[in-house]
DNA sequence: AATATCACGTGGTCAGACCACTGTCTTAAT
DNA sequence: ATTAAGACAGTGGTCTGACCACGTGATATT
């Protein structure tokens, strides 16, 4: 009965390759723009068939983590440009409920960012920009989110923002925007949050 | 000189296939657990080689959007289980700053959930559960997040929660938790938020 | 009826073959 | 010597055909 030891590759080859690539990138300190070995070379070095190597590379490419140029090679992309958004949007965010959730989430994160902005005392950084006239509410929001100095939160907000914009159009009263802006300029957190709640119909 | 019309397939085949699959899923109203055609059948129906079909499927599998079982077939997964984050996490969430941002984001989303819970008047749903003694803060938070009836927000929180737990351990005073819980039971939003701020050191 | 067997379909993997494109190196024309 | 044209090698893109490993259901056996 000595185990037949059926291959039973617990992990599929292409997954194994993805991990090897990750290690390779980490160990060799490869970064944005650098080139990784050709498919044929990876195939030889890792000891797997070229088609398996390609499956791994295609998956990473779909994620936007690498870029391939025919005739040239495969290159690492700036990880901050990953395509999470489009992918999630296309495949996951579909139903009506999800849209509602997305809009709701977006607004709540905006509010969180406002609070965080004040908590970190960074609201003054926006003053000069807010004083000019022709700024849309969205532009203001972008500055607020960026002002929080939290790239992750910014990323999440941008994702939601892009997705929401595909089916929802903000329609906000100019006066309310003005109140909101004034509150920020005056560094009045409470007033800013109140204005935002009204703006977004979050008051009870 | 009549254009040689080099193939120049603007879009690579595997991308084309990913899109076709998306349409197929949308049009046929396929959902979690449903089976999609076999690789060989897709190859025939779409008119592309099996290897290209596989590249597309492997990419979607890495994303956690589909699941393949040898000998059985390929199935659609619950989109709420996608692995995007884990993947991106492995590749891009590494620096110290990112960790700090993640913890910060997590806490802010928690606060948002508390507000949303009250806004929707769903805080009473937790009362019975909160009255029992041996519940950890994390368990309470889970209930709150779930109570918001926003799957997207829940998903984001869970992701952040998992990631944060890999390097951070909450250490919260029991008395503060008690105050927080009492405020919720009494449906006192303001007190709950104040308690949370203290709990998380968000007060100024 | 219960059980063992086997054929078929499915995913997993590989090897080899072309094609299309890019960059370089060689060679021929100036 | 300079330059332009062509040959060549390397790389990704795609397809085909071949096995293997595994699950299922029909079939044969008991």
Quote the CA–CA distance of A53 and B15 in Å, as a whole number: 17
Helix (H, G, I), strand (E, B) or coil at B141: helix
Tell me how crowded residue B110 is: count the other CB atoms within 10 A of its CB: 20
Tell me how crowded residue A154 is: count the other CB atoms within 10 A of its CB: 19
What is the sign, positive or negative, of the torsion defined by CA atoms of B115, B118, B119, B120?
Answer: positive
> Residue A193 pLDDT more than 50?
yes
Q: How far is the CA of B177 from the C1' of C12 (A)?
A: 52
Helix (H, G, I), strand (E, B) or coil at A142: helix
User: CB of B196 within 8 A of CB of B114?
Assistant: yes
Nearest protein residue to C15's C1' (by CA)? A49
**CB–CB of B151 and A202 under 8 A?**
no
What is the average pLDDT value for chain B, to the nearest integer? 84
Query: What is the mean pLDDT of the segment spanning B167-196?
Result: 92
Asked if the Cβ of residue A97 lies within 7 A of any atom of strand D, the reply is no
> Residue A114 pLDDT more than 80?
yes
B74 vs A128, residue with greater confidence = B74
**CB–CB of A112 and B108 under 8 A?**
yes
Nearest protein residue to C14's C1' (by CA)? A49
Quote the CA–CA distance of A87 and A159 in Å, as a whole number: 11
Contacts of B82 in chain A (CB under 8 A): 88, 91-92
Close Cβ partners of A2 (under 8 Å, ≥ 6 residues apart) = none
pLDDT value, residue B64: 81
What is the sign, positive or negative, of the torsion defined by CA atoms of B82, B86, B90, B92?
Answer: positive
Asked if the Cβ of residue B50 lies within 7 A of any atom of strand D, the reply is yes
Close Cβ partners of A126 (under 8 Å, ≥ 6 residues apart) = A117, A140, A143, A144, A147, A184
**CB–CB of A119 and B204 under 8 A?**
yes
Range in B34-43, B81-90, B106-115 with the lowest mean pLDDT: B81-90
pLDDT value, residue A171: 87
From B78, which residue of chain A is nearest by alpha-carbon distance?
A92
pLDDT value, residue B4: 34
Range in A104-113, A154-163, A187-196, B116-125 with the lowest mean pLDDT: A154-163
Q: How far is the CA of A43 from the C1' of C24 (A)?
A: 25
Quote the CA–CA distance of A98 and B89 in Å, as a whole number: 24
Give CA B11 to chain center in angstroms.
29
SS3 sequence of B85-126: HHHHHHHHCCCHHHHHHHHHHHHHHHHHHHHHHHHCCCHHHH
Which domains are delineated in chain A? 13-81 (1.10.10.10), 85-199 (1.20.120)
Averaging pLDDT over each range in A45-59, A75-89, A167-181, B166-180, which range is the top one? A45-59
> In the numeric block, which tokens belong to residue B72?
């059985």
Quote the CA–CA distance of A16 and A30 in Å, as a whole number: 19
Close Cβ partners of A201 (under 8 Å, ≥ 6 residues apart) = none
A136-151 residue pLDDT tens: 899 999 999 999 999 8
Range in A177-191, B89-103, B118-132 with the lowest mean pLDDT: B89-103
Range in A157-166, B12-21, B111-120, B191-200 with the lowest mean pLDDT: A157-166
User: CB of B62 within 8 A of CB of A59?
Assistant: yes
Alpha-helical segments (H) within chain B: 13-27, 39-46, 50-62, 84-92, 96-119, 127-131, 137-147, 151-165, 174-185, 189-199
B contact residues 120-159, partner A, Cβ 8 Å cutoff: 150-153, 156
pLDDT value, residue A201: 84
Close Cβ partners of B173 (under 8 Å, ≥ 6 residues apart) = B199
Query: What is the mean pLDDT of the segment spanning A30-42?
Result: 91
H-run or E-run covering A89: helix A84-91
Query: What is the mean pLDDT of the segment spanning A142-169?
Result: 88
H-run or E-run covering A51: helix A50-62
> Residue A87 pLDDT more than 60?
no
Residue B27 in contact with partner chain A when CB distance is under 8 A:
no
Distances (CA, A) of B11 to A42, B19, B165: 24, 11, 41
């Amino acid at each position: 009965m000595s185990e037949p030891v059926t291959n039973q590759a617990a992990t599929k080859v292409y997954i194994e390759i993805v991990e090897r690539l990750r290690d390779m990138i980490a160990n060799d300190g490869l970064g944005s723009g650098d080139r990784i070995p050709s498919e044929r070379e990876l195939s030889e070095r890792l000891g797997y068939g070229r088609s398996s190597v390609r499956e791994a590379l295609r998956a990473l490419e779909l994620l936007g983590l690498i870029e391939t140029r025919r005739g040239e090679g495969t290159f690492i992309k700036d990880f901050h440009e990953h395509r999470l958004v489009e992918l999630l949007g296309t495949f996951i965010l579909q139903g009506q409920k999800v849209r509602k959730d997305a809009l709701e989430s977006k607004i709540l994160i905006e509010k969180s960012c406002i609070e965080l902005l004040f908590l970190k005392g960074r609201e003054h950084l926006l003053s000069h920009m807010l004083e000019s006239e022709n700024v849309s509410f969205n532009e203001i929001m972008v500055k607020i989110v960026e002002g929080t100095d939290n790239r992750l939160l910014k990323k999440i907000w941008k994702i939601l923002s892009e997705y929401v914009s595909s089916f929802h159009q903000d329609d906000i009263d100019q006066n309310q925007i003005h109140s909101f802006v004034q509150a920020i300029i005056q560094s009045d957190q409470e007033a800013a949050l109140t204005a935002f709640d009204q703006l977004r119909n979050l008051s009870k």
